[in-house]
Amino acid sequence: MAIRSLRWTDLPSPRIWGSVLRFVKTFEVLLFRLLQFLDLYRPQKSVIGIPGLATRNSTTLQAVVYNGTQEEVLGFRPRRLLHRLLKGLPDLEMFERVRFQLAVSPNSLRSVEASTETRGFVLLQLPWQLPWKTPKQAWLRMEPLGVETLVGKIRLGDYEVLSSPVFFLNDEIQWVVVSDIDDTIKDTKIAESVGLKQILSGLFFGHYYKYEALEGMAELYRELAERGALIVYVTSTPYALTPFLLKFLRDQKFPEGPVYPRWLGYGRFGHKWRTLHRLISSLDRQRCVFIGDSGEQDLQIYRRLCDTEVFAERIEKILIRHVPGTPVQRAFHEREIFYRTVEELREHLKSMIK
């Protein structure tokens, strides 16, 4: 199913600038095609899936495409000249067309095609109606179809496809734990990374993508997941850094769950609010817990969602970690709780863990 006249995403469509980039991309693809034919260069690309979420009313599918293998991306070994100089700019691929296939039941397979366009990633919000009985999760199949050029789709080089799960919000899930990432489960050390020296160093060397987890958070989240909670990660980290983020969650043994990165075209407030509004609107009987920090606008976003009476009934607790060096915030409602250590957070979630 590929319908060009109906957009499956709320992201704006590229216009004049997109046409210019497609024109340039066509010449680039034809040049690399010639080099590949002469056996002078073999293009290599990575299609990396991002864990999504399927509810009764809609399904979110996400993927990002890079120039180079995953090992090259994570090892800061870019292939194109610009990204060799500026290693802090991940080399996303434009106009890559990908086919997605998802088995929502043993007898039902859904399929859709989409393009990364000028952004390098795909974000689809599909109005798929799910059957009443669904598995806990299913793996998303992705098939690269080539680069969209002015002369048609051209399959260029070799593709490394890294699939991802799509989680189903079924009746087995009793709790939905929405968690921020920066300064909530990993130590961002924002005060040490916003200086001019640190920014330039990261731009040319890219080493600031190495993350450290807050001690005890992975164990706590695993306990919640083992007791029927679905962990949903909503972050301001842009799509371009997705491989580093997924590697962090995997290496630190955080439980798998849907991950919602941010498109740089959206502000942090708007991204989180839109994502959470759509998520809570899809809840059936599940209760929801928000976990964030005082370093950004997490509390303000959560409060705005609670302004809707129906949403407020579904939100059990708002747990905010006080980040050292940030102003002390005050609670406006009994559901708002502030904590400083993982032990305090565990105490507030004790009823769920039981």
pLDDT of residue 50: 97
Contact 177, 231 (CB under 8 A): yes
Least confident of 3-12, 107-116, 262-271: 3-12
| 108 pLDDT higher than 50 | yes
User: Mapping DSSP to helix (H, G, I), strand (E, B) and coil, where does residue 275 land?
Assistant: helix
Residue 189, pLDDT score: 63
pLDDT score at 5: 44
CATH of domain 16-168: 2.60.40.10
pLDDT band at 101 (very low <50, low <70, confident <90, very high): very high
- Phi then psi dihedrals of residue 161, to 5 deg: -105, 125
Domain boundaries in the chain? 16-168, 175-353
- Give tens-digit pLDDT for 141-196: 999 999 999 999 999 889 999 999 999 998 889 899 999 999 999 987 654 555 56
The CATH classification number of 175-353 equals 3.40.50.1000
Q: What is the pLDDT of residue 2?
A: 46
Looking at per-residue pLDDT, the higher value among 8 and 195 belongs to 8
Q: Rounded CA gap, 119 and 78, in Å?
A: 18
When mean pLDDT is compared across 15-19, 198-202, 249-253, the lowest value belongs to 198-202
**Residue 279: both structure tokens together:** 């998520």
Q: pLDDT tens digits for 22-31? A: 999 999 999 9
Contact present, 326 and 320 (Cβ < 8 Å): no
Highest mean pLDDT, choosing among 10-24, 208-222, 249-263, 270-284:
249-263
Tokens of 246: 């997924």
DSSP tag of 92: B
Separation between Cα atoms, residue 116 and residue 317, nearest integer Å: 37
pTM, 2 dp? 0.92
Q: What is the mean pLDDT of residues 65-83?
A: 89
The set of residues, in sequence order, having a beta carbon less than 8 Å from that of 101 and lying 6+ positions away, is: 109, 110, 111, 140, 141, 142, 143
Is pLDDT at 348 greater than 50 in this prediction?
yes
pLDDT averaged over every residue in the chain: 88
Average pLDDT rounded to a whole number, residues 91-102? 95
Spatial distance between the Cα atoms of 153 and 124, rounded to a whole number of angstroms = 21
For 207-235, the pLDDT digits (tens) are 666 778 999 999 999 999 999 899 999 99
Instruction: Put residue 228 in one of left, alpha, beta given phi > 0 → left and psi -120 to 50 → alpha.
Output: left
Report which residue type is found at 210. Answer: K
